[in-house]
Amino acid sequence: MPYDLCNNIIGNMSRVIVGKENSIELLMVALIADGHVLLEDIPGVGKTLIAKSLAKSIGASFKRVQFTPDLLPSDITGFNVYDQRKGEFVFQFGPVMTHVLLADEINRTIPRTQSSLLESMEERQVTVDGKTYPLPHPFFVMATQNPIDLEGTFPLPEAQLDRFLLRVHLGYPGQDEEVAILKRFQESDPLQELDAVAAPEEVSRLQGIRKGIRVSEHVRKYITDVVRATRDNASCHLGASPRGSLGLMRAGQAMAILRQREYVLPDDIKYLAAPVLAHRLILHEEVRLQGRSQEQVVEEILEKIPVPVTDAGD
């Protein structure tokens, strides 16, 4: 059953990650929806650890790239090398040829290198010297960035931000959770002891099941009401595009699987609206100077739009 598989993956990750149930759930939503995740938070709260835990739990190949100002696009996608024995060029695959790619501190590299991921994230392929190479399936990018330390960084352009299905903030753990972390990691590293509870092929099947989750006309209208409201909001210089609408629908379908349903509820959309839409909004300068966040703007929009009442069969 799809729920059993998801529950096994979440439970397995929770053997390593303490007190981040909501974040783990959002990662699963992105994975099932065949999207990508931007993990945005300060260093040391477990961004890399949660990425590695997910990759090990689904038995996937995993590559981590530390993004730096001198990183080149070919360092990500790969490059052709001349083989003297064969008398021909041979393509050396870059780290993008993997199931799970962790793009660590993605905002510390130049825009040219950042954009090298666009084709991979959108089309699941890389093109080098006119030849196209398909990526493994599933292909899941988790990128991290520190929103506080902006010195020497290159902010992600809107086109790249729009490719991420969700933006997730981990935040500090509570005191009891931090005590549990110390206890869990005192004598051993639970990540090293973590075994796979799923296979990449099972994840691919799960993504196929997601496409069949029902979305009623009421829910589709609610999605478009919310997204269109971001475009007309006085706080927004630029609202979410139709890609945001599609992302919100797919995320809702994934959430329905996690909730053991064959249909999407408006409450799924309301719960996911901020993680899916907030990073796609560009606020006016004076709004940002007032200290208001993109998430706050989305929440204000949700409060103004009536939630439709639907039945399972709608």
Among the residue ranges 42-56, 115-129, 299-313, the one predicted with the least confidence is 299-313
Cβ count within 10 A of residue 132: 10
pLDDT digits (tens, 9 = 90+) for 20-41: 899 999 999 999 999 999 998 8
Residue 25 and residue 155 in contact, taking contact as beta carbons nearer than 8 Å: no
What pLDDT does residue 51 have?
Answer: 92
Q: The pTM is what?
A: 0.92
pLDDT of 312 higher than 60: no
User: What share of the chain has pLDDT > 90, as a percent?
Assistant: 67
Rounded Cα gap, residues 209 and 262, in angstroms: 10
Structure confidence by residue, pLDDT tens digits, 174-184: 999 999 999 99
pLDDT at 14: 93
Q: What phi and psi, each to the nearest 5 degrees, are found at residue 48?
A: -70, -40
Distance in angstroms (rounded) separating the CA atoms of residues 255 and 298: 19
Domains delineated in the chain: 1-211 (3.40.50.300), 213-305 (1.10.8.80)
Q: Is the peptide bond before 136 cis (omega within 30 degrees of 0)?
A: no
Copy the structure tokens of residue 267: 């409450």
Q: What is the pLDDT of residue 282?
A: 92
* pLDDT at residue 150 greater than cutoff 70: no
Q: Return the pLDDT at 311.
A: 59
For residue 133, report the phi and psi dihedrals to the nearest 5 degrees: -125, 120
Q: Find the mean pLDDT for residues 263-280.
A: 96
pLDDT in tens, 210-227: 999 999 999 999 999 999
Mean pLDDT in residue range 120-147: 90
